[in-house]
């Protein structure tokens, strides 16, 4: 066999193995069985295919941009973890992408004994949908804010059902409205054992996934009837830029006093700040100021959002 023929055969073999692995999606073990090679040999040949230029790995420009933005946000705002997803064709597509990214991050970082606190909202709904079924961990999921007067994919119970089911977790529900009509009602409710248990466990979570609200006409608290448009206007005029767990804050992260503050059924923002991993899960460029306020207040230390929102947030870096 000539040297040239030997070289061609070698290149052909490298190309075939690369095709099977990268294009057909076969595992190294499956390739080893098909070719009667050891798995170690397949691993070595795949590495050789890259070294000799048979395989060239190119990351799509849109993903490279997202990775670059992640680094900028992490450094600018001193965040522990940032995940940015490309913009979807529709807001719903974008929320789905954010949900998939958050689910993947959560799956990679779960540990036995984790107590995961959840708020509610469209993005959190997509996190629950995107999670894979996990059965080998000792996990608990706690509802951090009430919301029985909400509906559809905004329903906290729906988010909780998905999270508890997918993670095979112990679920602790907070079965109350997001905001009650009178302070006396709140005082009576927190005397209930199950409600008190949820609020107590919520403070002691190891990880929290929280949506971030804004003051647009589509704001979840208004759409669901948790607060009135008049109350929403009152909060905005008082300087509020966003909310987490139905608790409002200004651009500097300071809690905004209002007529509803004492009637909210949720852990406090101060209690949220004591949770080690606090992940803001949100999308839409109108969320830039609410995100900044949440970062300034220390209510989140990680962020999962979309590219457009991330760019809007970077424009506000001087307000840090």
Give the model confidence (pLDDT) of 261-299 as tens digits.
Answer: 899 999 999 999 999 999 999 999 999 999 999 999 999
Q: What's the mean pLDDT in 114-138?
A: 94
* Ranges assigned E (strand) in 86-151: 115-118, 140-143
The predicted pLDDT at position 136 comes to 87
pTM attached to this predicted model: 0.81
The predicted pLDDT at position 21 comes to 93
Q: pLDDT class for 235, splitting at 50, 70, 90? A: confident
Contacts of 290 (CB under 8 A, 6+ apart): 212, 213, 214, 241, 242, 243, 282
The predicted pLDDT at position 55 comes to 87
- Please give the distance of CA 27 from its chain centroid, rounded to a whole number: 29
Domain with CATH 3.40.50.1360 in the chain: 61-319
Strand-strand pairing, 242-244 and 247-249:
antiparallel
- Please give the distance of CA 304 from its chain centroid, rounded to a whole number: 5
Question: Which residue did the predictor score with more confidence, 232 or 269?
Answer: 269
Q: Does residue 206 carry a pLDDT above 70?
A: yes
Q: Percent of the chain, pLDDT > 90?
A: 70
Give the model confidence (pLDDT) of 19-43 as tens digits.
Answer: 999 988 999 999 999 998 999 999 9
Lowest pLDDT segment from 12-26, 91-105, 161-175, 238-252 = 12-26
Domain with CATH 1.10.10.10 in the chain: 3-51
Architecture of the domain made up of 3-51: Orthogonal Bundle (1.10)
The predicted pLDDT at position 226 comes to 78
Q: What's the mean pLDDT in 251-261?
A: 92
The predicted pLDDT at position 150 comes to 52
Q: Which CATH code fits 61-319?
A: 3.40.50.1360
Q: Is the dihedral of CA 189, 190, 193, 195 positive or negative?
A: positive
Cα gap 310→306, rounded to integer Å: 6
**222 CB neighbour count, 10 Å cutoff:** 18
CA angle 115/119/120 to nearest 5° reads 135
Give the model confidence (pLDDT) of 44-75 as tens digits.
Answer: 999 999 999 888 877 777 777 888 999 999 99
The predicted pLDDT at position 127 comes to 96
The predicted pLDDT at position 64 comes to 79
Computed over every residue of the chain, the mean pLDDT equals: 90
Consecutive H or E run containing 244: strand 242-244
Give the model confidence (pLDDT) of 128-169 as tens digits.
Answer: 999 999 998 999 999 999 986 555 556 678 899 999 999 999
Q: pLDDT class for 241, splitting at 50, 70, 90? A: very high
The predicted pLDDT at position 58 comes to 75
């Amino acid at each position: 066999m000539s040297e040239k023929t030997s070289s061609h055969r070698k290149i052909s073999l490298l190309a075939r193995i690369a095709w099977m692995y990268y294009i057909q999606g076969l595992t190294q073990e499956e390739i080893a069985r098909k070719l009667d090679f050891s798995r170690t040999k397949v691993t070595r040949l795949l590495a050789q295919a890259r070294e000799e230029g048979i395989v060239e790995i190119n990351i799509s420009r849109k993903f490279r941009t997202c990775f670059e933005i992640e680094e900028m946000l992490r450094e600018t705002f001193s965040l522990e973890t940032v995940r940015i997803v490309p913009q979807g064709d529709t807001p719903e597509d974008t929320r789905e992408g954010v949900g998939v990214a958050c689910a993947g991050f959560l799956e990679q970082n779960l540990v036995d004994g984790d107590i995961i606190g959840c708020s509610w909202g469209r993005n959190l709904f997509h996190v629950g949908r995107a999670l894979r079924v996990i059965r080998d961990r000792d996990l608990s999921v706690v509802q951090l804010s009430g919301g029985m007067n909400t509906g559809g994919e905004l329903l906290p119970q729906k988010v909780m059902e998905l999270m508890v089911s997918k993670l095979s977790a112990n679920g602790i529900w907070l079965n109350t409205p997001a905001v009650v009509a009178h302070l006396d009602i709140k005082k009576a409710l927190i005397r209930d054992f199950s409600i008190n248990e949820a609020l107590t466990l919520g403070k002691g979570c190891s990880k929290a996934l929280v949506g971030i609200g804004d003051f647009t006409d589509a704001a979840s608290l208004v759409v669901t009837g948790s607060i009135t448009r008049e109350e929403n206007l009152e909060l905005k005029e008082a300087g509020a830029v966003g909310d987490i767990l139905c608790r409002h804050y200004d651009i500097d992260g300071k809690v905004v006093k209002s007529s509803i503050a004492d009637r909210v059924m949720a852990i406090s923002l101060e209690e949220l700040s004591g949770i080690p991993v606090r992940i803001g899960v949100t999308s839409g460029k109108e969320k830039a100021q609410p995100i900044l306020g949440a970062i300034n207040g220390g209510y989140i230390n990680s962020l999962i959002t979309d590219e457009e929102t991330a760019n809007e947030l970077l424009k506000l870096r001087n307000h840090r």
